Chains A and B, each alone.
Chain A
Amino acid sequence: MSDSDLRKETILAAANNLRWEVGDNLHDTLMESIYENATSIANKVVEYPDKKQAFSLDRTLDKVLTSRYLGFPIMFMILAVVFWITIVGANYPSVFISSILVDSLHPMLKNFTNSFMPWWLSGLLIDGAYLAMAWVVSVMLPPMAIFFPVYTLLEDFGYLPRVAFNMDPLYKKVGAHGRQALTMAMGFGCNAAGVVATRVIDSPRERLIAIITNNFSLCNGRWPTQILIATIFIGAAAPAYLAGIASAAAVVFVAVLGITFSLIVSWGLSKTLLKGEASAFSLELPPYRPPRLLQTLYTSLIDRTIFVLWRAVVFALPAGMVIWLIANVTIEGNSLANHFINWANPAAFIFGLNGVIILAYIIAIPANEIVIPTVLMLTVANLGLNNLGSGSGVMFELDSVADTAQILHAGGWTLLTGINLMLFSLLHNPCSTTIYTIYKETKSVKWTVISTFLPIILGLTVTFFVTQLWRIFS
């Protein structure tokens, strides 16, 4: 060993011995003393301009929005208004876009491609890929284009951090972060956007909890399914004058059930799988400020709406082709879809569902929006009702609820099937867009798989027990 090496060794050994002397918190002590010096210097030389006016307005607002008696009622009212605007307001543009993309453009494209393509190619491309894409755009775009800007406005104004602040005790009890209330609310708009929104949770463990449980928020794509099925089955089971209220109550019940599940699962995860992950709480309450309308519109459209829509479209194209193929490829005179439905029916019966629903949820994985059109198409194809629908492998929806009900009843659906579909629609795997987003955000196959299969297992368990109890007591 050379002389300098020896000297180095001696110095290192001496340094190591000194480390025992200075204790375990040398870094903190150093950092704290640096901050301390900086603060004392800053206190001497920095003056803060008088901002009393704006500040006191902030405090008054805060006092009201987080007050003991008004805090929660104001919060529920604001959220109710946001959802009402989204659901009611989205209807009109949705019908309009659908009439262009599905009702007008689809037949035109079909006629045009038929003129030079073999029937199977135009079926695959137009009836399959194009139609799935058109459906996703027309049903997904309007609610998002309304919900995201409104949500972003509330965020920009500074109200949402106060919601997290008020809700924190509840989330603390289940081992989560108060901001999960916000990502959950975002999930009501779109789970994929909700998963992205968990970036605001700076503590790794709480963020994972928020990501995995986001799917329990009933997203925009599932509201229409819930409303339709509730109207057909729950509304019809109630006396006529109560039908509207009964079906609305059923939908709200399912949404609240979703919130309950998200809390229970958060609690379970924080006690078991996620026990060891790092956790650190803090919540900044930014000052209130007038929302910047144009900027908000722009960012929420580009960052959230277009982003989510693009991913959904990318997934919808191949899925549309698969949907068309399984309805049109036949083996021994029966389509692949029919083979699967007949094969899955007995197993699905145990869960109070049917083969059509199972298949629809498997192939409509790109977007919850196309579950009902797929269910209708499969039911009609399975029953051989050739006078209904738009042809083999072509998804469709009916304007009249009564006609839809007729098809479902013909498919053997009962009140129990309806209830179970509503439950399964709440508790099943996230759509492929969300799954992909979860992977992008967590960079972990393990958590992606857990977020995907945990809700399915829960859903099958719940529908299973509901079905058995229903059959025993009815």
Chain B
Amino acid sequence: MNEPIILLIIGIIIILILVFLFYPGKGIIARVKRSKNASKKILIEDALKYLYNCEYNQVVCSLNGVAGNLSISADDATDIISKLESLGLVDAKKNELVLTPDGRSYALRIIRVHRLWEKYLADETSISENEWHKKAEEIEHMLTPEQANLLAAQIGNPVFDPHGDPIPSENGELPIKKGKLLTEMQPGEFANIIHIEDEPYAIYSQIIAEGLYPGMQIRMIAVSDKRIKFVANGEECVLSPLIAKNITVGIKKLEKKISENYKTLSSLKVGEQGTILGIAKSLRGQQRRRLMDLGIVPGTKIEAELESVTGDPVAYRVRGTTVALRKQQADRIYLEG
């Protein structure tokens, strides 16, 4: 009589155990994988990377900085640094930690894999941009230089990662840092976002939530101690200086200036026509190529033809064919205003 009840309970327990084990990100298996990653080698490599970033940004780097960045205790940080010294990768002078040439090239190898992987995730997969950095943090410790070269060749030897950071070449070359911070712009100035710092994560995700991305053209309206106000994609955007400091801007030579008046494809009402100005840089890789294949390139006339039952997707007439696009895509295609 009670048999089905016992079986039912056993069944539920098995399912709970499986969920407990395999739940993505939080399950036991995911945790074990993560804790295995926190090995000494990884700490050493992360420390080198941090030291290199300090050097590149011309900031003095201290032991406390290392401990804070790797979220480890000061004792552990001392441990790591002395290990790095004994390997001949770091010189410790008074309060300052300096990379040796060997340490620099080691750090650049890690950074190269990290940025290549971010570029790969952005262009070839549908993983969301919030996760690029996290995934690259894992993979950077696993690929050999040979594998990194193969990967680079496969994605067209890119020179910038999707955040706008330069990717070190095979021989460890990097361009001199250029551009200025968003907070240093003058009102009325035009510029392109060339870099968005992806650490700390909390600030990065706020910037992403605003819809800002490297390559985007912006026009500054007002700069003050309290807020930075500028136009991006035809919309006004306000950031606090604390956040704006994580954005670097610069002027690109080959880029033509997008006129001030433009609107998104999704703003077209059925029956209205427009001329395409361009596709946002945030539509990448396969998505971008597909749109171009369909004839969505600058100068082409496009007309909103038909709304589906729920209003999304909308069918557009372009080059004599009718193509349905989702709102999420149409938001990122610009028309002459």
Contact = CB atoms under 8 A, between A and B. Distances in A.
Interface of A: 16-17, 19-29, 31-32, 35-36, 39-40, 48, 59, 62-63, 66-68, 71-72, 165-166, 168-169, 172, 178, 202-203, 205, 271-272, 275-287, 350, 461, 464-465, 467-472
A277 B313 CA distance: 22
B200 interface: no
B126 A205 contact: yes
A350 B286 contact: no
A36 B159 contact: no
Contacts of A277: 125-126
Given A27-B156, A40-B299, 5 more contacts: A16-B173, A17-B173, A35-B292, A36-B298, A166-B309
Nearest to B22: A272
Contacts of B126: 205, 275-279
Contacts of A285: 306, 315, 322-324
B253 A278 contact: no
A443 B285 CA distance: 23
* The 9 residue pairs across chains A and B that have the minimum distance between CB atoms: A24-B160, A471-B4, A279-B126, A35-B297, A468-B8, A20-B175, A283-B324, A285-B322, A71-B309
B180 interface: no
7 contacts: A16-B169, A19-B159, A24-B215, A32-B292, A168-B312, A168-B324, A203-B286
Given A178-B313, A278-B124, A59 B305 contact: yes
A465 B160 CA distance: 53
B324 A25 contact: no
A284 B5 contact: no
B133 interface: no
Contacts of A350: 7
B35 interface: no
Given A32-B297, A275-B127, A280 B287 contact: yes
Contacts of A39: 297, 299-300
A39 B295 CA distance: 10
Contacts of B278: 32
A43 to B, nearest CB: 8
A468 B313 contact: no
B325 A282 contact: yes
Contacts of B313: 165, 168-169, 178, 281, 283
Q: Chain B: interface residue count, which band?
A: 35 or more
Contacts of B324: 165, 168, 178, 282-285
A29 to B, nearest CB: 6
A352 to B, nearest CB: 10
A405 to B, nearest CB: 26
Given A165-B308, A276-B127, A465-B8, A281 B329 contact: yes
B125 A172 contact: no
Contacts of A278: 124-126, 285-286
Contacts of B322: 284-287
A50 B158 CA distance: 46
A36 B300 CA distance: 8
Contacts of A67: 309
Contacts of A284: 294, 321-324
B214 to A, nearest CB: 8
Given A278-B286, A282-B323, A23 B160 contact: yes
Contact of B292 (A24, A31, A272): A31
B297 A166 contact: no
A413 to B, nearest CB: 18
Contact of B125 (A28, A63, A276, A286): A276
B281 interface: yes
B27 to A, nearest CB: 11
Nearest to A276: B125
A110 to B, nearest CB: 46
Given A48-B320, A278-B126, A468-B8, A36 B309 contact: no
B254 A22 contact: yes
B24 interface: yes
A29 B288 CA distance: 12
Contacts of A16: 169, 173
A285 B294 CA distance: 12
A280 B158 CA distance: 21
A46 to B, nearest CB: 11
Interface string B95-107: 0000000000000
B134 to A, nearest CB: 13
B291 interface: yes
B254 A202 contact: no
A185 B121 CA distance: 33
Nearest to A352: B4
Contacts of B160: 23-24
Interface string B254-286: 110000000000000000000000100100011
A28 B281 CA distance: 10
Interface string B1-36: 001110110010001000000001000000000000
A35 B8 contact: no
A467 B4 contact: yes
B108 to A, nearest CB: 15
A27 B159 CA distance: 12
Most chain B CB atoms below 10 A, which of A23, A31, A277 = A23
A62 B324 CA distance: 13
B310 interface: yes
Nearest to A272: B24
Contacts of A26: 254
A311 B122 CA distance: 40
A469 B175 contact: no
B256 to A, nearest CB: 9
B306 A62 contact: yes
A275 B287 CA distance: 16
A158 to B, nearest CB: 10
Contact of A472 (B4, B11, B166): B4
B259 to A, nearest CB: 15
Contacts of B295: 35
Nearest to A62: B306
B169 to A, nearest CB: 6
A467 B254 CA distance: 69
Nearest to B289: A280
A75 B116 CA distance: 47
A13 to B, nearest CB: 9
Given A279-B287, A282-B294, A471-B4, A20 B254 contact: no
Nearest to B2: A472
Contacts of B127: 275-276
Contacts of A203: 286
A159 to B, nearest CB: 14
A31 B156 CA distance: 15
A23 B11 contact: no
B312 A25 contact: no
A23 B217 CA distance: 14
Most chain A CB atoms below 10 A, which of B4, B8, B285 = B4
B254 A29 contact: yes
A251 to B, nearest CB: 27
B41 interface: no
